Structure 1
Amino acid sequence: MTTPPLLTDRPALDRQRLRARARGLDAFLQEEAVADLQERLIEVNRTFTSPALIAAFPEIWTPVLPDAKIVPDAEVLDLEEGAHDLVVHAFALHWANDPVGQIVQAMRALKPDGLFIGILFGGQTLHELRAALAEAEAAVTGGLSPRVVPMGEVRDLGALLQRVGLALPVADSVTRDVAYTNPMRLFADLRAMGETNALAGRRRHFTRRAVLMRALDIYLAHYADAEGRIHATFETIWLTGWTPHESQQQPLRPGSARRRLADALGTFELPTGEKPV
């Protein structure tokens, strides 16, 4: 069996996270997500007694989950089967070499009727930067190299929940437009979040100055507002699913309905083959 190529250079990812923490971690998007997580847990209206938190920067999330078991986002998660009633995978799935495997491991760690919440960057994230870098590199060097981690679309990521067997799956996204005085401030924010390039297939040398300057010009030309600020999109995707349990709502069997849809809507149902006048 052929082993698929790795997406993420884990040692490089660990190094950039350590640098971000050492320089004063500034994960404002994660901090916003923490407030959102708190609201979502309140809406669930359940007391979780044995939560687990998978996160690169757990200190951001512990105010909401103070009693959670802290689990590093390694390829093999330090989780005991059936030990938790809540597992939160916080802003690390987009770097996973095997995101399906990560969700499966989290699901196995849940008790029946346990809740899984996955939070990650989605496919619209940094689409402006990706486009500017690709156009600039193609123009200057005649080729392309991996620079931004590929991120899934909300529909595809939601399908993963059903694929692994989670019940009542829900996937939704929150998109934020962030304005910067210049592109260099965006790069500084990415470094402060520990979200710079850690792709296994990246080029192992500094970006050529000509490529970078061309990318900055393209960014300013296409994504600047009337005040000269450039804009960057960040999409946060939320994945929610429950481990199956007999107490959960079940879909009706096909053909088991006792009322016709036409009756419920107060309309007239035409016989098969007839067309409305």
Structure 2
Amino acid sequence: MANAPPIIFSNRRKAVRRKRAEIMGRRSAADPFLFAHISADIEDRLAFIRFEPETVLLDGFGSEQMRGVDWRQMPAFDSTGLHDFDVPSNLLSASFDCVASINSLGTVNDLPGALIQMRELLKPGGLAIASFVGGASLAKLRRAMFEAEPERPAARMHPLIDPRSCPGLLQRAGWTNPVVDSHMLTVRYSTFDRLVQDLREQALGNVLASPAPPLGRTAFQRAREAFMAMADDDGKVSETFEIITLTGRRSPAGT
């Protein structure tokens, strides 16, 4: 198809990444802090607008945390399993009062198409809300990965979305009353390896369709040393995650 979007991300690698994260989560007592932070933020937004949906579709690994937030009136959640807008589904148009997406839209190959799908799945007047890691995230990790192999830089971290591009995308997708905002979450790390583990446990690893070869042992050690060289006086590195949140509705007329 001439107009098909380029394949940047691998659906197979996304599935493997999610499965690995599930296994790591069962083995570890670590808190998936990013999902917890995003879920709490979405909970606050829903409370602020006093939105109490009866039917909800959860999209993306991490969105299951939304089952535990205070909905005031517990909605019915879609029971077909983890949804992914890169994979065809049998979901019917105008089926949900709310579509909530966490950690998903940043790795879809057709972002405009995913946004259109979100709108189409909403009942008239329904609410779509999506949060994901944005383009200003992990600056120190990116620098460390470059310094690991400066003579042959490779795409070891996938591209991230710039929030400035989102308003136009939401308008093109037909979202009513679209809002785009972002904020920074700072996390402090004592070791490089802890950051890598956090990313893996939350399914935030590289899922490029054409990934670079993995770092060798020597290069990985250089990345570790470069990252820790950016530590604050207390020996911890302050790394940042940009959280982009998109909200909007399907029009009351259902268009």
Q: Do the two structures share a fold, i.e. TM-score over 0.5?
A: yes
> By how many angstroms is 1:148 displaced?
1.2
> Which structure would you say has the larger Rg?
1
Distance 1:4 1:169 in 2: 24
Amino acid at match of 1:29: L
Which runs of structure 2 are paired with 1:4-83 in the superposition (5 Å)? Answer: 4-24=5-25, 26-64=31-69, 67-70=76-79, 71-75=82-86, 76-83=88-95
CA contact (8 A) 2:35 2:62 kept: no
Contact 2:38 2:102 in 1 (8 A): no
Q: Which residue of 2 aligns with 1:182?
A: 191
TM-score by length of structure 1 reads 0.80
Residue pairs, 1:78-117, within 5 angstroms:
78-117=90-129
Runs of 4 or more off by more than 3 Å in structure 1? 2-5
1:212 corresponds to 2:223? no
Equivalent of residue 128 in structure 1, options 136, 140, 152: 140
Amino acid at match of 2:36: E
Question: How far 1:58 sits from its partner (Å)?
Answer: 4.2
> Over aligned residues, Cα RMSD in angstroms?
1.9
**Is contact 2:85–2:117 with CA below 8 Å preserved after alignment?**
no
Counterpart selection for 1:191 from 187, 197, 200:
200
Query: The residue matched to 1:198 in structure 2 has which SS?
Result: coil
2-side partners of 1:24 and 1:85: how far apart?
30
Residue type of the alignment partner of 1:169 = P
Mind listing any 5+ residue stretches in structure 1 that lack a counterpart?
Answer: 247-277
Identity %: 32
AA matched with 1:161: L
8 Å CA contact 2:189–2:236 kept in 1: the answer is yes
CA contact (8 A) 1:79 1:105 kept: no
Aligned length: 241
CA distance in 2, matches of 1:235, 1:50: 29
Aligned partners of 2:148 and 2:93: how far apart in 1?
A: 48
Hey, what's the Cα distance between the residues in 2 that align with 1:121 and 1:144? 23
Distance 1:108 1:36, change over 3 A: same
Query: Any idea what SS the aligned residue of 1:146 has?
Result: coil
- The TM-score normalised by the length of structure 2 is 0.87
Structure 2 residue runs of 5 or longer lacking an equivalent are none
CA distance in 1 between partners of 2:37 and 2:106 (Å):
18
